[in-house]
C-alpha cells in the first residue's frame, strides 16, 4: 500500500451543511473543506524537522551600518504578532525600534551595528520558533504527544530563504501554511477581535428564573440576547426586539446552541446563558490557546488514521488518497468524566481488535466500586457475569479471600463476554501504559446526550461495526456479516491488524467546519491550563534580557 506523507493540523473536517440566512455575518473561512487534527503524532518515517540542515551564512539585517528594508519588515512582523495569536510583548520591539532609529541616523559604530544585527537575528529566530513549535511544551500541560520541534538552525534557514527571496512579509504563512486549519482560526481570531468592545456585551444578561426561558415568555434581557445573536451571525439583523421570546429568536438560539456544543432545544437555560455571556475578549483568548495547540503539530506518515476530539465528543476516521485527506466516518463518542476520570490526551497505534471481549476491571475501579458493591450485594457478581481470576484459576465465589486478593493485587475481577459486558461486544486496542482503548457499550442511550463525559477514561463508540469496517477495509475477508458474528459469539477472539492505524486523542475547543465556527466547553480545564502557561511564558520573557546593552 502506498503511504502518503502529510502534515496534519486539525481533526474535524466536515459535518452536514447548515443553512445560514442571507446577510448574516459568517466567519470567513477557506472555500475548501478544512481538516482539523490537532497535535498528531509522528508515525513511521523521520519528520522533515529532524533532517540535517546545512550550515548557512549568518543572517544579515544591515548593509554597512544601516538597516536594509527587510529589517523594517521584520519589525512589522513582531509588531503584528497578535495577528498570529502570539503576544507582541514577548519581543523587545520598542528597544529595537529605538536602536534602529540610531542606526538609520548613522549613530552606530560597526561593532554596535553588528551587535544589533545579532539581537535582531536572535529575536526573529525566537519568533519563527514560536510560530512553528509553539511557546509552551505540551508535556508541561499534560499532553503526551510525540513531536520534533525545529531547531535554531532550521529557523535560520526559513529566515535566510525569506530574506534572499524578499518574502519576509509572508514568512508567517510560509511557516504555518502546512497546517490546514491554522489559517481558518486566524480568520476567526481576526473576526472576534473586531467584536471586542461591541456594545452587545456591555450590559450583563439578567438571570433567568426557573428551568429556562421558553417560547412565549417575557425576559428583560431580550434586547441583549438579540444583539449578541446578530453580532455572532446566528440571527439576521434589522428586526425589532420582541416583547416576549418568539420563534425568530428561538431559531437564532438553536443555531447558537449547535455551534456551542449545547442541546438544540431552543430553551435559554443555564448552559446557554453562560455561553451567551462569554465576551469576544474571552473568545479571542480561546482561539489563541487553540492556535498554540496547532503549532505542536508534527509530521505523520500513514494512509489512514483515527482521531477523537474529546471536548466535541466526536470520532472521525480519515483516509489519505493521493496526498488528500478525506474524512470517511464520523460518530459520537463517550469520554472520561471531567476532573476525576478524564480521558488522557496522547497518540498511539491501533494494532488489535478483540471481539466479544472480557472486561478486566481495572484495580482502581475494583477497589473503589466493585469490591464495596460486592460486600453490600454478593449476588451482583453473578448478575453481572463477573468472576475472580486468581493465577490460572477462575472462581465465582464472593469470598473474603477472593476480595482481599483483589485488593492486594494478587487477583483480578473480570466480566465475561455477553450483553451486560461494559465493553459491549468489541474492543479496539492501541497498546499504551494507561489502559485506554475504544469499545462499544450496552448503555447506548447516553449517546443522545449533548455532553457525553461519562466513562472511566476509555472511549465508547456509537457505531462499532462502522468503525471495524473502516479499520478492516484492507482485509476484505472481514465482511460486515463476519464482524457482527464475531461480536455476537460470546467467545473472546483477538485479531491482529495487518497494518497498524494511528489513533490520536486530541483536544480542541474551537473547530471550523462547513464554513462555521464551533466552540466547545473546556470540559477538562485544558484551555485554562494552557492559557496560564502562556501567561507565565510572557512573564518569563519580560524578565529575560533578549537584547544586549544599549549602544
Name the active-site residue from 260, 439, 440, 537.
439
Strands (E), 222-378: 299-301, 304-309, 314-321, 324-336, 345-355, 359-360
Which of 194, 190, 196 is CA-nearest to residue 82?
A: 190
Torsion-angle region of 34 (φ positive above 0: left; ψ -120 to 50: alpha; else: beta): beta
Enumerate residues 6+ apart whose C-beta is below 8 A from 377.
none
Cell 486549519 belongs to 181
Which of 499, 487, 489 is CA-nearest to residue 461?
A: 487
- DSSP, res 303: S
Evaluate the CA torsion angle 24, 28, 29, 32 in order and state its sign: positive
**Residue-by-residue DSSP string for 340-374:** TSPPPEEEEEEEEEEES--EE--HHHIIIIIHHHH
SS3 label, residue 540: helix
CA–CA distance, 506 with 37 (Å, rounded to integer):
7
**Residue-by-residue DSSP string for 438-491:** EE--S-GGGGGSSS-EEESSSEEES-HHHHHHHHTTT-TTS-HHHHHHHHTSSS
SS3 label, residue 319: strand
First and final CA of the chain: distance in angstroms? 61
How big is the chain, counted in residues?
551
C-alpha atoms less than 13 angstroms from C-alpha of 263 in its C-beta half-sphere: 13
C-alpha atoms less than 13 angstroms from C-alpha of 152 in its C-beta half-sphere: 6
- DSSP, res 543: H
Q: 459-461 and 438-439: which strand pairing?
A: parallel
CA angle 304, 342, 373 (to 5 degrees): 120
* Annotated catalytic residue 302: no
- DSSP, res 70: H
CA–CA distance, 384 with 396 (Å, rounded to integer):
11
CA–CA distance, 357 with 489 (Å, rounded to integer):
10
Radius of gyration of the chain (CA): 27
Tell me if 480 sits within 8 A of 465, measured CB to CB.
Answer: yes
| Helix axis angle, 93-104 to 110-133, nearest 10° | 150
Name the active-site residue from 440, 456, 458, 537.
458
Whole-angstrom CA distances from 413 to 206, 367, 385, 431, 546 are 52, 10, 10, 21, 58
* Annotated catalytic residue 19: no
CA–CA distance, 28 with 30 (Å, rounded to integer):
7
Tell me if 502 sits within 8 A of 349, measured CB to CB.
Answer: yes
Active centre residues (catalytic): 439, 458
Amino acid at each position: 500500500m502506498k503511504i502518503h506523507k502529510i502534515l496534519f493540523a486539525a481533526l474535524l473536517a466536515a459535518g452536514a451543511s447548515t443553512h445560514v440566512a442571507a446577510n448574516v455575518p459568517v466567519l470567513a473561512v477557506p472555500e475548501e473543506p478544512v481538516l482539523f487534527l490537532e497535535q498528531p503524532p509522528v508515525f513511521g518515517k523521520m519528520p522533515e524537522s529532524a533532517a540535517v540542515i546545512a550550515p548557512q551564512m549568518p543572517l544579515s539585517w544591515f548593509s554597512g551600518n544601516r538597516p536594509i528594508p527587510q529589517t523594517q519588515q521584520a519589525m512589522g512582523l513582531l509588531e503584528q504578532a497578535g495577528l498570529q495569536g502570539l503576544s507582541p510583548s514577548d519581543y523587545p520591539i520598542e528597544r529595537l525600534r529605538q536602536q534602529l532609529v540610531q542606526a538609520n541616523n548613522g549613530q552606530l559604530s560597526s561593532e554596535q551595528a553588528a551587535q544589533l544585527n545579532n539581537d535582531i537575528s536572535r529575536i526573529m529566530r525566537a519568533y519563527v520558533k514560536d510560530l512553528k513549535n509553539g511557546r509552551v511544551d505540551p508535556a508541561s500541560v499534560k499532553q503526551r504527544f510525540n513531536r520534533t520541534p525545529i531547531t535554531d538552525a532550521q529557523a535560520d534557514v526559513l529566515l535566510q530563504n525569506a530574506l534572499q527571496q524578499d518574502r519576509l512579509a509572508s514568512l508567517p504563512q510560509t511557516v504555518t501554511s502546512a497546517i490546514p486549519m491554522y489559517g481558518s482560526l486566524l480568520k476567526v481570531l481576526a473576526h472576534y477581535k473586531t467584536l471586542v468592545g461591541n456594545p452587545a456585551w456591555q450590559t450583563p444578561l439578567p438571570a433567568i428564573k426557573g428551568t429556562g426561558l421558553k417560547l412565549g415568555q417575557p425576559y428583560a434581557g431580550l434586547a441583549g440576547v438579540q444583539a449578541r445573536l446578530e453580532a455572532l451571525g446566528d440571527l439576521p439583523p434589522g428586526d425589532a426586539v420582541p416583547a416576549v421570546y418568539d420563534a425568530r429568536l428561538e431559531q437564532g438560539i438553536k443555531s447558537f446552541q449547535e455551534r456551542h456544543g449545547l442541546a438544540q432545544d431552543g430553551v435559554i437555560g443555564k448552559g446557554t446563558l453562560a455561553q451567551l455571556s462569554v465576551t469576544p475578549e474571552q473568545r479571542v483568548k480561546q482561539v489563541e490557546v487553540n492556535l498554540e495547540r496547532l503549532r505542536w503539530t508534527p509530521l505523520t506518515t500513514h494512509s489512514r488514521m483515527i482521531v477523537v476530539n474529546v471536548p466535541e465528543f466526536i470520532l472521525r476516521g480519515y483516509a489519505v488518497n493521493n496526498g488528500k485527506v478525506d474524512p470517511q466516518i464520523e460518530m459520537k463518542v463517550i469520554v472520561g468524566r471531567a476532573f476525576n476520570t478524564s480521558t488522557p490526551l496522547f497518540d498511539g497505534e491501533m494494532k488489535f481488535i478483540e471481539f466479544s471481549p472480557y472486561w478486566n476491571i481495572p484495580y482502581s475501579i475494583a477497589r473503589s466500586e466493585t469490591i464495596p458493591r460486592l460486600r453490600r450485594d454478593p449476588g451482583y457478581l453473578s448478575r453481572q457475569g463477573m468472576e475472580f481470576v486468581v493465577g490460572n484459576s477462575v472462581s465465582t465465589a464472593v469470598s473474603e479471600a477472593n476480595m482481599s486478593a483483589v485488593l492486594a493485587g494478587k487477583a483480578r475481577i473480570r466480566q465475561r463476554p455477553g450483553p451486560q459486558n461494559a465493553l459491549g461486544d468489541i474492543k479496539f486496542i492501541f497498546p499504551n501504559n494507561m489502559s485506554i482503548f475504544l469499545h462499544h457499550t450496552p448503555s447506548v442511550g447516553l449517546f443522545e446526550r449533548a455532553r457525553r463525559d461519562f466513562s472511566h477514561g476509555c472511549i465508547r463508540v456509537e457505531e462499532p461495526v462502522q468503525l471495524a469496517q473502516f479499520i478492516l477495509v484492507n482485509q476484505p475477508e472481514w465482511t460486515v456479516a463476519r464482524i457482527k458474528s464475531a461480536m455476537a459469539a460470546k467467545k473472546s477472539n483477538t485479531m491482529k491488524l495487518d497494518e497498524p492505524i494511528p489513533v490520536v486523542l486530541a483536544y480542541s475547543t474551537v473547530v471550523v467546519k462547513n464554513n462555521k465556527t464551533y466552540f466547545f466547553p473546556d470540559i477538562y480545564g485544558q484551555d485554562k491550563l494552557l492559557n496560564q502557561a502562556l501567561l507565565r511564558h510572557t512573564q518569563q520573557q519580560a524578565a529575560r534580557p533578549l537584547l544586549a546593552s544599549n549602544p
